C-alpha cells in the first residue's frame, strides 16, 4: 500500500476501519484479494512477481499491511521482497510484538518499509529505518511512504476526510472509497522532498495516483465491528481507463 488511513478504537461501532490505496507499476502482475489456496485462512491480494502481499487479514483476526519508505538513494534492487513480511506474519501464530522482535537484523536486509500488524485488540507499527516497535494509540492515523502520521499532504487530507466521514454512527463504504479516489494535487510548496524529481513528487502527491506507467492499482475498505464481523471490499482499477474497476467483497466472522 502507499496510503493507509485507519481508525483504531475510535468509532462506536467499528474498532477497526481501514481505507487504503496500493500504488504500483502497472506491469507488475498481481491477483485481487481472495482466500489463498495454500493458506486458506488468509484473505489478501497476491504479488505474482515475488509471492507476497501488501495487505491482508485472516479468519483468526490477524491483520497486516505495509508501505514502502520512499528513499531512492537507499534502494537495493537485490533486497528481498517486503511483501513477505506481511505474508509471514499472517501465516504465523506469533504475537505481533514477538514477530517484530524476531525480524532478522531488525529488517535491515529489506529496503525501507513501514509495517502495521496486529489484531482488533492491539496494533503495532514498525519501520526498519526507525527501528522502534510502537504500539498504536486509539484514534485516526495515516501512513504513506514516510513514517506513521508524518503530515504529507495526502496523509493530512486523508485523515481529516476520514474523521469527517466517521462523525456519523453509520459508516458507508462509498464515502470511504470517495476519499481514496481523490486526485487533487497539492501545491508545490506543500510537497515533501524524498529524493525523486519534482515531476514525480507531483505525480505521487495525490491520494489516488495516475501516470502512464505507475499508479493506484487498487483501493481497499475494511470494517471490523465489535462482534468481530468483517466486511472487506477491494476495487482493482484498469490502467489508463478512468472510471473502470472490478470489485471483490467478502464477509465473515473472526474465529479465534
Q: Is the pLDDT of residue 256 over 80?
A: no
pLDDT at position 121 is 87
pLDDT at position 241 is 67
pTM of the model: 0.97
CATH number where 55 lies? 3.60.60.10
| Mean pLDDT for all residues in the chain | 96
Q: Which residues span the domain enclosing 68?
A: 3-253
pLDDT at position 169 is 81
Model confidence over 71-81: pLDDT tens digits? Answer: 999 999 999 99
Where does 79-215 have alpha helices with state H?
83-90, 96-101, 153-165, 173-180, 198-204
The mean pLDDT value for 208-215 works out to 95
Give how many domains the chain has, as a whole number.
1
Model confidence over 213-248: pLDDT tens digits? Answer: 999 999 999 999 999 999 999 999 987 666 688 999
With bands split at pLDDT 50, 70 and 90, how would you rate the model's confidence at 168?
confident
- Which residues, 6 or more positions from 162, have their beta carbon under 8 angstroms from its beta carbon? 5, 6, 7, 17, 19, 140, 142, 176, 179
Where does 49-197 have alpha helices with state H?
83-90, 96-101, 153-165, 173-180
The mean pLDDT value for 108-137 works out to 96
Amino acid at each position: 500500500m502507499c496510503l493507509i488511513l485507519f481508525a483504531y478504537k475510535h468509532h462506536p461501532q467499528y474498532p477497526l476501519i481501514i481505507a487504503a490505496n496500493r500504488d504500483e507499476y502497472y506491469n507488475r502482475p498481481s491477483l485481487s484479494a481472495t482466500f489463498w489456496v495454500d493458506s486458506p485462512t488468509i484473505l489478501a491480494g497476491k504479488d505474482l512477481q515475488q509471492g507476497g502481499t501488501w495487505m491482508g487479514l485472516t479468519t483468526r483476526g490477524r491483520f497486516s499491511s505495509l508501505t514502502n519508505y520512499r528513499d531512492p538513494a537507499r534502494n537495493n534492487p537485490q533486497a528481498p521482497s517486503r511483501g513477505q513480511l506481511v505474508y509471514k506474519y499472517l501465516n504465523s501464530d506469533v504475537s505481533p510484538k514477538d514477530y517484530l522482535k524476531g525480524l532478522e537484523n531488525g529488517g535491515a536486509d529489506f529496503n525501507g518499509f513501514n509495517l502495521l500488524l496486529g489484531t482488533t485488540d492491539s496494533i503495532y507499527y514498525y519501520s526498519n529505518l526507525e527501528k522502534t516497535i510502537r504500539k498504536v494509540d486509539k484514534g485516526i492515523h495515516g501512513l504513506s511512504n514516510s513514517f506513521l502520521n508524518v503530515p504529507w499532504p495526502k496523509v493530512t487530507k486523508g485523515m481529516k476526510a476520514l474523521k469527517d466521514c466517521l462523525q456519523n454512527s453509520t459508516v458507508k463504504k462509498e464515502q470511504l472509497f470517495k476519499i481514496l479516489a481523490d486526485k487533487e494535487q497539492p501545491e508545490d510548496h506543500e510537497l515533501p522532498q524524498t529524493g525523486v524529481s519534482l515531476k514525480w513528487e507531483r505525480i505521487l502527491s495525490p491520494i489516488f495516483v495516475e501516470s502512464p506507467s505507475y499508479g493506484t492499482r487498487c483501493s481497499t475498505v475494511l470494517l471490523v465491528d465489535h462482534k468481530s464481523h468483517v466486511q472487506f471490499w477491494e476495487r482493482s482499477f484498469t490502467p489508463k481507463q478512468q472510471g473502470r474497476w472490478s470489485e471483490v467483497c467478502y464477509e465473515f466472522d473472526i474465529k479465534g
